[in-house]
Amino acid sequence: MVLVMDVLLSSTASALVAFVAALLPTGVFMPNKAFWFTWMGTALLSSLVLFLALRTYTIIIRHTSFKDMIRFVIALAGKDVMMLIALFAFYEVERVIIIMLIGDLLLSLLFLMGVRLLMIWAYDVYKTRVRELQKCHRVLVYGASDKSESAIFRFRNSPHYNIVGVLSSNPSLKRVKFADKTVYYVKDRKDLDRLTLSLSVSAILFTKKEDARAENDRLVKYCTSLGIKLLFLPEVGELGEDKGVGIREVKIEDLLGREEIRVSMSDIFSGFAGKTVMVTGAAGSIGSELCRQLAGFGIAKLILYDNAETPMHNLRLELEDTFPKLEFVPVIGDVRSSMRLDFAFRCYRPDVVFHAAAYKHVPLMEENPCEAVLVNVVGTSYVADKCIEYGVEKMVMISTDKAVNPTNIMGCSKRLAEIYVQSLGLAIEKGQHEGKTLFVTTRFGNVLGSNGSVIPRFRDQISKGGPVTVTHPEITRYFMTIPEACRLVMEAVVLDTANRICVFDMGEPVKIDTLARRMIELSGLTVDKDIKIEYTGLRPGEKLYEEVLSNVENTEPTKHGRIRIAKVRTYEYSEAKEAVDALDKLARKVEIPEMVKLMKKVVPEFISKNSKFSVYDAK
């Protein structure tokens, strides 16, 4: 093909030169028909011979170099020499013929190189266009809603996303027009495959998490099996998460659980505006999110208290960038240090304290029980005591579902912390102890994406090619997002929940095995083919099933339908104080057996599971 093109270009150049020569004035050059046949015949033949001999047709056009141009010059020069020899055999070679041959050489070279440059330019334009098309995802937006309409107009001129239609779960809307886009309906996987192929669609865009969750077992599975991207458009200004307003890929967090619990942000705002707020464990996943949300509530000052230097530094930089007008003070300190806590309370006089500092990893605390007691129990008692001493209005303790009928050291340590805080609050309420502080304890389950939680662990394992490790195929857990958990904590604070333990509606439990499989699928991989799942066995102190937190039988309602008050055994403050002091001494002496025995005595429902401490359970 290239050879034919080159021969035709070279011959065309020769013909054009001959045509120009024919226009010369009479008497300067007077060729006959035989000359023209000889000229064109030798031009055609010699071009073919020389191009074949030098194999110029093997040169890849888009990779043509200066060395390749030299080969063309040699081939064209050889062509003109052959033409000269043929013409010399039949005609007297005049000066004008020499000029014609030189012109033929230059014009042929111009044609051959010009066409190649034009083709290279066209190829580059094509590649650039292809890259732009690859960058610009052709997208179907899900749902004929106001948010979908807003997304269509918002990305109308986007260089990255081209919304080509609307995907609806309602078959009656099929083929109607919505915001100038056609509405499509897919019944099954084959329908989706045909539709995306015909429209060259590479992604489905969800504008509401509820839609993604509703399609979790249908459309989401179809997309992951077909390699179609799942995108999500966060709400502009959505508090606490998705701080940017750009499209992102759907995460497993978007598909888990149920519709997020809505809270009264106006009540929360009025409850914190103008106050000085202190957060312990401020650099942790829950503590840092509390800080981000509190920063938007018009508080006067935010005190960050944590002993983790690098995370505290990173949080400080983030708050400085995001909330430049916020007055906040980072304090490096440990809740095990009563003197350091005293300094923070004495200097900054907080009105409200959120106590999120804790050791929370079950296996680690099973191996280091004294540290769990010192941080979770003794540290909490120090914070509560300082709240009383410095007249704090309200202390909010962040607890866990693992404190319900605990089966491990960590869960029991959090239950003991609850006991101390609640008994102190009730003692103040009854006039048995001086102080004005109100204590609120909040319990919730696993938080999606928190430090050390299962989802970041699975993501890391998937990125490394697996295997993904699950402790047991039947293990289940309750989940909620970090921002939702923090909003609920603050909602519980402004409710009439003083000296009570608040529990949250966690929705339906999720099998960890199912969670792992969905995460692998969302990564575009196949379970047991690309990524294997390995079962490692329950870890020390780990439950197979978590307790139901908000069961009607063990809770009382509040005015918020998703927040309830736990019915728990109450303790006298003197009894709780005596137990905490004794545990403090035993933990500092690292007298583990006696300490664990005392924990089980104070919390009789603490029955160890899959743990060496089960030998201390009452028989």
Mean pLDDT across the stretch 258-284?
Answer: 79
pLDDT tier for residue 241 given thresholds of 50, 70 and 90: very low
Q: Which pLDDT belongs to residue 450?
A: 63
User: What would the CATH number be for the domain defined by 265-615?
Assistant: 3.40.50.720
Residue 519 corresponds to which tokens in the numbers above? 């995460």
For the segment 422-480, what is each residue's pLDDT rounded down to a tens digit?
A: 999 999 998 999 999 999 998 877 776 665 568 778 888 888 888 999 988 888 887 77
Whole-angstrom Cα distance, residue 108 to residue 608?
91
Task: List, for residues 402-412, the tens digit of each pLDDT value.
Answer: 888 899 999 99
Q: Could you tell me which residue, 618 or 287, shows the higher pLDDT?
A: 287
Backbone angles phi, psi at 577, to 5 degrees: -65, -45
Flag whether pLDDT at 344 surpasses 80: yes
Short-list 460, 383, 420, CA closest to 580: 420
Q: What number is the average pLDDT over the span 596-616?
A: 91
pLDDT, residue 238, reads 45
Interval 549-566 mean pLDDT: 68
Q: What residues contact residue 572 under an 8 Å CB cut-off, 6+ apart?
A: 423, 427
> Rounded mean pLDDT of 171-188?
87
Residue labelled with tokens 């743990």 = 611
Please check whether residue 451 is in contact with residue 285, taking contact to mean a CB–CB distance below 8 angstroms: yes
**pLDDT (0 to 100) of residue 572:** 93
- Of the pLDDT bands very low, low, confident and very high (cuts 50, 70, 90), residue 338 is very high
Q: What is the C-alpha to C-alpha distance for residues 343 and 331, in angstroms, rounded to an integer?
A: 10
Report pLDDT for 69.
Answer: 78
Q: Taking all residues of the chain, what is their mean pLDDT, rounded to a whole number? A: 82
Specify the pLDDT at position 33.
Answer: 66
Cis peptide before 467 (omega within 30 of 0): yes
Is 551 a residue whose pLDDT tops 70?
A: no
Q: How many angstroms from the chain centroid is the CA of residue 216? A: 18
Per-residue pLDDT band at 389 (split at 50, 70, 90): very high
What pLDDT does 527 receive?
84
Share of the chain above pLDDT 70, in %: 87
- Determine the Cα–Cα distance for residues 291 and 357; give it in Å rounded to an integer: 13
Confidence of residue 236 (pLDDT cuts 50, 70, 90): very low
**Average confidence (pLDDT) over 216-244:** 70
Cα distance between residue 619 and residue 617, in whole Å: 6
Contact assessment for residue 208 and residue 143, using Cβ atoms and an 8 Å cutoff: yes
* Residue 382 confidence (pLDDT) above 60: yes
Confidence tier at 29 by pLDDT (50, 70, 90): low
CA 185 to chain centre: 28
Judge whether residue 549 has pLDDT over 70.
Answer: no
Confidence class for position 132, pLDDT limits 50, 70, 90: low
Span 51-68, average pLDDT: 74
What are 42's two structure tokens? 């030798």
Give pLDDT, residue 68: 75
Cα(445)–Cα(480) distance, integer angstroms = 7
Fold identical between 137-250 and 265-615?
Answer: yes
Q: Which residue has the higher pLDDT, 393 or 35?
A: 393
- On the question of pLDDT at 351 being above 90, the answer is yes
Residue 43 to residues 21, 75, 91, 108, 130: CA-CA distances in angstroms?
A: 15, 12, 16, 11, 40
Quote the pLDDT of residue 242.
40
In single-letter form, the type of residue at position 402 comes to K
In the prediction, which pLDDT does 492 show? 79
Residue 605: count of CB within 10 angstroms of its CB: 13
Give 360-379 pLDDT, tens digit per residue. Answer: 888 899 999 999 999 999 99
Quote the pLDDT of residue 92: 63
pLDDT tier for residue 312 given thresholds of 50, 70 and 90: very high
Residue 585, pLDDT above cutoff 90? yes
* pLDDT tens-digit readout, 105-129: 888 878 878 888 888 888 777 766 6
Q: Which residues of 207-222 are buried (b: 16+ CB within 10 A; e: fewer)?
A: bbbebbbbbeeebbeb
- Lowest mean pLDDT, pick from 12-16, 124-128, 582-586: 124-128
d(CA 405, CA 421): 18
* Category of 609 on φ-ψ map: left (φ > 0), alpha (ψ -120 to 50) or beta: beta
State the DSSP H helix or E strand holding residue 166, giving kind and residue range, or none if neither: strand 161-168
CATH number assigned to the domain covering 137-250: 3.40.50.720
- Percent composition of the chain: helix, strand, coil (DSSP 3-state, to 5): 50, 15, 35
pLDDT one-digit tens code per residue, 474-490: 888 877 777 777 877 88
Which of 316, 538, 305 has the alpha carbon at shortest distance from 407? 538
Domain assignments of the chain as residue spans, ordered by start: 2-133, 137-250, 265-615
Strands 438-443 and 301-306: unpaired
Query: pLDDT category, 39, cuts 50, 70, 90?
Result: confident
Q: Find the helix or strand (DSSP H, E) in which 300 lies.
A: none
177-181, 206-210, 546-550: least confident range = 546-550
Do 166 and 148 form a contact (C-beta atoms < 8 A)? Answer: yes
- The vertex-178 CA angle with 177 and 184, nearest 5°, equals 70
H-state helical runs in 62-94: 66-90
